[in-house]
Structure 1
Amino acid sequence: MSNENNSLLTKGIGGIGAALLVLNGLIGAGIFALPAKMAAELGAFSPYIFLIFGALMLAIVWCFGQLAALYQETGGPVVYAQKGFGDAAAFQTGFIYYLARATAIAANMHVLLLYAGYVWPELNAGIGKSFAIIALTTALIVVNIVGLKAAMRSLDTISVLKLLPFVALIAVGYWQLDFSTALTSASEAVVPAFDTISAGALLTLYAFIGFETVVVTSGETSAPKKTIPRALMLTVSGIAIFYFCVQWLYWHTVGPAKPDSAPLIALANKIFGETGALVMTLTAVVSVAGNLLANMISTSRLTFSMARQSLIPGKLGSVLGRVHTAFATPYFSILVLGLFAGAMALSGSFVWLAISSVLARLVVYAVCVVVLMKAQRASSQSSLQPITSERDAYPEEATDTPASPVKLIRRLIPFVALAVCAWSIAQSSTNAWLFLLGELVIGALLYFFYFAQSNKISKG
């Protein structure tokens, strides 16, 4: 089914497109609020936390790159969970991950309109806001249905529009900065207490959630075995440095004072004046739009993949697994996601789901890391006849000596990744756990009393 799954979709994502999916999955609304929170938590040490914990996050990112090379199919975490633990785990993974991603779309629609409301207040109140959500939802659905290339071209344009103001902000900001004073202040930065670092680290790790957008579209990526791991590692590393540069500039320009508006808008106002603040406000709108588009491209492929794997059986599965004959896109999965996210945005019902969305994604990360560990172990046990693709993914396992540094590092990284996931998960609130458990119970009931039974009937 997996080869058929991939052949139905066009290979419309190249190296740059994969990198832009990662970039837009990460840089959305968070960067516009993060600098002030980090400055308040960690002070002069705040820029360095992005480098330290960004490096730790790269362990998880590396694991996803390896999985993308191993299983070159549309679906990402759903495919990985199915390969590692079977259909029930794959369904639960897809269910909670889909809810988390759809919730992010609904929430970011509100964030986009919040920033747009600074310029056009009527977009942020009453009937105007409802019409804006409907228009935004329609645009996302249409752009995605008419073709992957059209969606990726839109993402290219949005990415340029969101990055140019950031480049100008950093370049001019650093040019204006008194480096002698800034470097003296930086050298006197005190490493905060562990509890304080933990609070800041959690904010930092949350800033990197969303990188996995690109693995969901593996089946539509050219040469995914090389393209996706490279796009993940290079882009996430670059974004960690970007976050560091922005935070360093913010601390040495604005400092610990709480800004009147969004931190980066306050920073742009300080560097460029009111015009700069306006441009940064519009950049926030464009940035969130890019995040919405990248999220829409990838999340719609989840239900398509689940349908093609018979995790969603019957008439519903056959509909969600359809591909448009002219546009070669999973048009019904796109339509369902758009309508679901748009309805949540209109009603405000996404708020309670948002409580558990970050925890759900962290749990999905942990599941995927364990799948990679299982694949590595299977590939090293030649007597067990492991899956061919797993042995192909790790050809050095058969030839490396037991003490090979490369082999040891490859086996160590997933343990580091799992530790980062476990620590992050442990910081989640009781409410987040309760909501996630509720979602898992609903998912289990759906699977065992409807989907599993439907599969038995269809196979029987």
Structure 2
Amino acid sequence: MTLQLERDAVLRRHIGPVALAAAVINGVVGAGIFTLPAAMARAAGAWAPLSYLVCAIAMSFVVVCFAEAGSRLPTSGGVYGTVAFAFGPAAGFVCGMLTWMASVLACGGIAGALADTVGTVLPGIAAGPGRALVIIVSIGAIAFVNMRGVREAAWMVTAATLVKLVPLLLFVAVGAVMVLSGSVPPPRPITAPHVFGLATAVLLGVFAFSGMETPLAASGEVANGNRTVPRALFGAMGFVLVLYVAIQLVAQSLLGASLGGQAAPLAAAAARIGPVARMLLVVGAALSMLGWIGSDILGAPRILFAFARDGLLPRVLGRAHRRTHAPDAAIVVHAVIAAGLALSGSFTGLVVASTLNTAGLYFLGCGAAWVLHRRRIQTVGEPVDFRLLPVAAAGGMVAMAVLIYVAPPAEILGLVGVLAASIALYGIMRGIGGRARPPVG
């Protein structure tokens, strides 16, 4: 069935495969990689690199589904649009809420990690009011830039993300050479983990591989989306897997058993290479975290804005500033909630909660891909057609269900609460404003 998408008619499809792949890498390789190796070591011990591979297998099902769905329906909103088309506006609203919740939880976790990283250089602000000040100032400043307009916000994000990969690639290259040459004395080896620790490591790993859904929200502006989306996804996620495993292996080889106790693990590992390397990692981590927060505050509040515009959230969130045209009310609400989470929660706890919301989002996305495949939906050009897409969709849905099952009970209840609240809110707002306008079509 060939589908015309009126909502994308005003957009210009200028994003190519290289640009989209770069955007996916920037979205997936978030600032968490600068702190995640320690959490992975605490949970999985010496098996942490293997945990990344397990996560990659689970995520490969999701990537296949998103690749075909994106080639069939490359619409603005990405997975939100495909879920809404496949299952209706109610499911689309739940999908959008899961996306926003995952974003705001991750933003809180990253902001807290930023404060911890700054604290390794300035110990006086590692805790208490100093740490709180770093969180509030960083989120507040980025929110202020976003409220000045999307152009300023985009430039800020671009400037920060350009330097993201440089310190990581240097860390892997120099660290590997020093370990293999014996220039660094071998550390005390990491012990094997408890089996339940592996489950936590897998949850953390899925968080590290998540984020592709945010760049895919711009699929309505992708040139030849039927081919560009799958090529960009496969290339980007393959690169990310190799990078993550290499970072974990080098960090473990440099720090050994002490890796799990580090607040800024890559900076501590780089310190064994030399003081210049350590400072490079600290600066790179801080800029990467600021860039990730900037990207989050650039995109996630637009979900609240879109919902309000469609009558599914209070109208004030759908307000745009008269001069800058930025959704200022939505930006402020998102920033305040993220700052509150950063001040009250730990990085690992917020990451696990964010991952569960993302698992729910991916579950819906895999199901939507299955529906699009079965109905032979296409928009621009001939889409990719994976013969085993139903198997991948079932595998992705089962993998996400297992991730939710092995999560801490409190986090599972939190996810159930988000789903229930989203459905109830959709029903209430539709009753107030009438039938919701579908986001696709």
The DSSP-based 3-state class of the residue aligned with 2:304 is: helix
CA contact (8 A) 1:320 1:330 kept: yes
> Aligned to 1:377, which of 358, 374, 379?
374
CA contact (8 A) 2:62 2:393 kept: yes
Pair 1:296 & 2:297 matched: yes
* CA offsets 1:1-54 (integer angstroms, 9 cap, x no match): x96654677778665553344233333343233334544665655434434532
Match in the other structure for 1:450: 429
Which stretch shows the higher mean deviation, 418-427 or 338-347?
338-347
* CA offsets 1:336-373 (integer angstroms, 9 cap, x no match): 42344345546769999776432121011101110111
Q: Distance in 2 between matches of 1:12 and 1:55?
A: 32
Amino acid paired to 2:237: V
Q: Unmatched 5+ residue regions in structure 2?
A: 185-190
Q: Distance in 2 between matches of 1:326 and 1:9?
A: 22
Match in the other structure for 1:283: 284
CA contact (8 A) 1:14 1:222 kept: yes
Which stretch shows the higher mean deviation, 81-90 or 9-18?
9-18
Percent identity reads 27
Amino acid paired to 1:429: P
Match in the other structure for 1:72: 74
Q: Distance in 2 between matches of 1:133 and 1:251?
A: 29
Amino acid paired to 1:212: E
Match in the other structure for 2:355: 358
Match in the other structure for 2:247: 246
CA contact (8 A) 1:22 1:232 kept: yes
Q: Distance in 1 between matches of 2:106 and 2:76?
A: 20
Q: Distance in 2 between matches of 1:15 and 1:56?
A: 24
CA contact (8 A) 2:68 2:386 kept: no
TM-score by length of 2: 0.81
Pair 1:166 & 2:168 matched: yes
The correspondence of residues 294-443 of structure 1 with structure 2, limited to 5 A, is 294-308=295-309, 310=310, 312=312, 316-317=314-315, 320-321=317-318, 330=327, 332-345=329-342, 356-379=353-376, 390-392=377-379, 395=382, 407-443=386-422
Q: Distance in 1 between matches of 2:330 and 2:223?
A: 22
Q: Distance in 1 between matches of 2:173 and 2:17?
A: 27
Amino acid paired to 2:293: L
CA contact (8 A) 1:36 1:256 kept: no
Match in the other structure for 2:114: 112
- Which has the larger Rg? 1
Match in the other structure for 1:35: 37
Q: Distance in 2 between matches of 1:179 and 1:438?
A: 52
Change in 2 beyond 3 A, CA 1:266/1:105: same
RMSD: 3.9
Change in 2 beyond 3 A, CA 1:331/1:7: farther
Amino acid paired to 1:279: L
Which stretch shows the higher mean deviation, 343-352 or 250-259?
343-352
Amino acid paired to 2:230: P
Amino acid paired to 2:405: A
* CA offsets 1:56-87 (integer angstroms, 9 cap, x no match): 31221232233333333333343233212222
Match in the other structure for 2:103: 101
Q: Distance in 1 between matches of 2:394 and 2:436?
A: 41
* CA offsets 1:151-206 (integer angstroms, 9 cap, x no match): 34333322232221112211212222336999xxxxxxx99998776554444323
CA contact (8 A) 2:207 2:351 kept: no
Q: Distance in 1 between matches of 2:278 and 2:170?
A: 13
Match in the other structure for 1:87: 89
Q: Distance in 1 between matches of 2:177 and 2:140?
A: 42
The correspondence of residues 197-236 of structure 1 with structure 2, limited to 5 A, is 198=199, 200-219=201-220, 221=222, 224-236=225-237
Match in the other structure for 2:188: none
CA contact (8 A) 1:217 1:298 kept: no
Shift of 1:115: 0.9
CA contact (8 A) 1:9 1:323 kept: no
Change in 2 beyond 3 A, CA 1:22/1:392: closer
Which stretch shows the higher mean deviation, 34-43 or 90-99?
34-43
The DSSP-based 3-state class of the residue aligned with 2:77 is: coil
CA contact (8 A) 2:125 2:131 kept: yes
Amino acid paired to 1:357: S
> Aligned to 1:175, which of 167, 174, 177?
177
Q: Distance in 2 between matches of 1:108 and 1:457?
A: 34
Change in 2 beyond 3 A, CA 1:51/1:104: closer
CA contact (8 A) 1:114 1:124 kept: yes
Amino acid paired to 1:72: P
